[in-house]
Each structure stands twice: as structure tokens, then as C-alpha cells.
């Protein structure tokens, strides 16, 4: 177990981080953001995220003895109604030992990002249900999905696909392997009053569904591709998956994309530069996909090394270039 061996002035750290996020907490349309990014702001392994009036502390370094001071520091900058802390499994502690309700009661919060609402579950072992670093990506999807048929792969709780639906997409299909996540996508649609059909929330193995969709002649005008840092091994894959497996996944997605369609590719790995990622996608698509736009995380995710931030590239299908090549 990694111990925290030095005294931390939590109030000073939280005050400094809170001041840097002034553009966010002064924006009345946003009540969810990362309050503290410890990797760059003074406590390696500690991150704190705000979901409306709830705060979630995630820690990979053992700070259990400091949680009372940290709780008070948070309450001194914002009147949180709920504060919970969750230690990482790498600490070698049981779930009970590393999970703490520090202030208030409740396991659910409804947070707001501009015009959208998201339901998060504070007591889940991993992410509560909304990746805050994808804020600008959700905004891009709202602005670029009108009249498009969109496929949301590795859908999680559906926030990216929901953004497309809110942006007037003609249809959004979500695919995720987890049975437990599909009802949460529905809950987010319901919270926003957006109509949906349950048949568009699909549970299954991506390496099974995508070849079937290709064989059936399915086509989309936009594909959201947000694989985890390490994609699962699948008995349906004809190869051994590696990392986010973009090389293989892009080959599938390219065949599903209409001319002029876009793919939102989200890079989480630290061992790839942005340029290397885009070159990998271009090569896997046979030069059909060309990068057009880059997005990243906001002011609440400070990083001195650019390759440690979320990097998002928007690729557009250029069929003319592929033919000429």
C-alpha cells in the first residue's frame, strides 16, 4: 500500500485549485467539474470531482487519516451536501475499508452541463457515470449531429450519444457490453425529456456486432469511438486486441461510415502522441479518414505533459481522396 508520507495543507491546495476553476463555478450553466487534479496540483493520486452539490474523492495514495481535513477544506469553498471518498483497489484494502461517506447522505446526484442533465451514482467503485474531461466533446456533438444517424460505441452511461440526440440527430444507437449500463442510458434520456427506443440501446460484444452490421449493409453518418485504455479480449475478434485497439476498430468503422461522415476518436493512452494516433487512424482507414478537428479536456484538468490529457480527434470520411490514392 502506498502511504502518504508528508503533511499536506489541504486547505491551501483546495483554495488554489478552486480559484483556477473560477470560469467554471461562475458559469451558472455548469455544476459539474474536476475540483482538484492532484497529479499536478499537489497530491499525486488524488482527484476530486463535483457533481452539483456532491463531491467524490478518488485516491490511489492512502490518505484515509487526512480525509477529515480534506472534507472541511472542501466545505470551506462550497456548501456540499454530500461528500464521499473511494480508494483505488490497488491500495490492497477491502471495498468497505476504502469507501467512506464523509458528509451528508445519498448515493445519487443530478448534475448539469449547459442544457443537459446527467444522473450519477456516487457509490459506484469507478466513475460515477460522467467523464468530466469530455465536456468539449459533448458540446461538439451537440453542434454537429443534426440529421445524422449516429453510432455510440463503448457507450457507458450514454452521455456522448445523448449529446448527439440533443443535437437533433435523426437516430442514435448505443452499444456497450455491460447489461447494467443500459438502464442508466435510459435514465439520462428520461432526465432530459428526450424520446428514445429501447431497441437502440444494445448490449453486446463490439467485435460481434460490428461485422454483423457491416454484413447487413448498415451505414452511419457519425460514429463515436471511445474505447477504454485497454480493450477486452474477445472470442469474436480475429486478432489479439491491443491497447485501445484503434487499428482494428477503425477498419470496422470505416466500412460503416457514409461519405462525409465523421468519427470521434478519443485517445486515453499515454504511450501515443496525438500525431501518432491520427496517423494510425489514417493508415487503418486506407487514408479515407482525415483528421479535421482536435479537442481536449478543460481548465479543470491541468497537465504539464500534453500527452497525459484526453486527446480527441474528429476524422471525416474523404472518399474522393481514398479513390485518388
Give the helix, strand, coil percentages of the chain, each rounded to 5: 35, 30, 35
| Predicted local confidence at residue 85, as pLDDT | 97
List the Cα angle 88/19/307 in 5-degree steps. Answer: 50
pLDDT along the chain (325 residues), means of 10: 65 98 97 97 96 97 96 98 95 91 96 97 92 98 98 98 98 96 96 94 96 97 96 93 95 97 95 94 97 97 91 91 44
Strand ranges for the chain from DSSP E = 32-37, 46-51, 54-59, 82-87, 99-103, 108-113, 116-121, 149-153, 171-176, 201-203, 220-225, 257-267, 289-296, 311-317
- In which element (H, E) is residue 149 found? strand 149-153
Longest alpha-carbon distance in the chain: 64
| Predicted local confidence at residue 321, as pLDDT | 52
Superfamily of domain 132-324: Vaccinia Virus protein VP39 (3.40.50.150)
Q: What is the DSSP string of 282-306?
A: HHHTTT-EEEEEEEE--TTS--SSG
Radius of gyration from C-alpha coordinates of the chain: 20
User: What are the residue boundaries of the structural domains of the chain, listed by start?
Assistant: 10-121, 132-324
Give the residue from 112, 155, 132 showing the smallest Cα distance to 264: 155
Report, at the CATH architecture level, how domain 10-121 is classified. 2-Layer Sandwich (3.30)
Share of the chain above pLDDT 90, in %: 89
CA 83, CA 104: separation in Å to the nearest integer?
7
| Predicted local confidence at residue 125, as pLDDT | 82
| Predicted local confidence at residue 1, as pLDDT | 43
Identify the DSSP state of 202: E
For 251, the 3-state DSSP assignment is helix
- Given a contact cutoff of 8 angstroms between Cβ atoms, the answer to whether 278 and 287 are in contact is no
With a CB cutoff of 8 Å and minimum separation 6, the contacts of 60 are 2, 44, 45, 46, 87, 88, 90, 91
For 243, the 3-state DSSP assignment is coil
CA 66, CA 72: separation in Å to the nearest integer?
10
pLDDT, one tens digit per residue, over 228-251 is 999 999 999 989 999 999 999 999
CA 116, CA 102: separation in Å to the nearest integer?
28
- In which element (H, E) is residue 74 found? helix 67-77
| Predicted local confidence at residue 320, as pLDDT | 67
Amino acid at each position: 500500500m502506498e502511504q502518504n508520507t508528508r503533511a499536506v495543507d489541504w486547505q491551501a491546495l483546495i483554495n488554489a485549485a478552486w480559484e483556477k476553476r473560477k470560469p467554471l463555478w461562475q458559469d451558472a450553466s455548469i455544476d459539474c467539474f474536476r475540483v482538484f487534479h492532484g497529479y499536478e496540483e499537489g497530491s499525486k493520486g488524488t482527484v476530486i470531482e463535483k457533481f452539483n452539490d456532491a463531491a467524490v474523492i478518488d485516491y490511489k495514495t492512502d490518505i484515509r487519516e487526512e480525509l477529515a481535513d480534506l472534507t472541511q477544506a472542501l466545505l470551506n469553498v462550497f456548501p456540499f451536501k454530500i461528500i464521499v471518498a473511494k480508494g483505488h483497489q490497488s491500495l490492497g484494502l477491502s471495498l468497505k475499508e476504502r469507501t467512506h461517506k464523509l458528509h451528508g447522505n445519498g448515493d445519487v446526484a443530478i448534475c448539469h452541463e449547459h442544457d443537459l442533465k446527467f444522473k450519477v451514482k456516487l457509490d459506484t467503485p469507478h466513475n460515477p457515470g460522467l467523464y468530466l474531461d469530455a465536456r468539449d466533446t459533448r458540446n461538439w456533438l451537440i453542434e454537429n449531429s443534426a440529421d445524422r444517424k449516429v453510432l455510440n460505441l463503448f457507450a457507458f452511461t450514454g452521455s456522448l450519444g445523448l449529446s448527439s440526440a440533443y443535437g437533433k440527430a435523426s437516430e442514435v444507437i448505443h452499444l456497450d457490453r455491460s447489461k447494467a449500463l443500459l438502464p442508466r442510458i435510459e435514465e439520462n434520456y428520461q432526465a432530459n425529456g428526450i424520446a428514445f427506443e429501447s431497441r437502440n440501446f444494445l448490449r453486446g460484444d463490439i467485435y460481434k456486432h460490428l461485422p454483423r452490421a457491416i454484413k447487413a449493409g448498415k451505414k452511419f453518418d457519425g460514429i463515436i469511438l471511445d474505447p477504454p485504455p485497454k480493450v477486452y479480449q474477445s472470442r469474436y475478434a480475429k486478432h489479439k486486441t491491443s491497447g485501445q485497439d484503434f487499428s482494428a476498430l477503425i477498419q470496422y468503422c470505416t466500412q460503416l461510415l457514409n461519405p462525409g461522415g465523421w468519427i470521434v476518436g478519443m485517445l486515453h493512452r499515454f504511450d501515443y502522441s496525438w500525431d501518432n494516433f491520427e496517423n494510425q487512424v489514417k493508415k487503418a482507414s486506407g487514408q479515407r479518414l482525415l483528421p479535421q478537428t482536435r479537442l481536449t479536456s478543460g481548465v479543470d484538468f491541468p497537465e504539464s505533459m500534453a500527452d497525459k490529457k484526453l486527446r480527441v480527434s474528429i476524422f471525416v470520411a474523404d472518399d474522393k481522396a481514398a479513390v485518388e490514392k
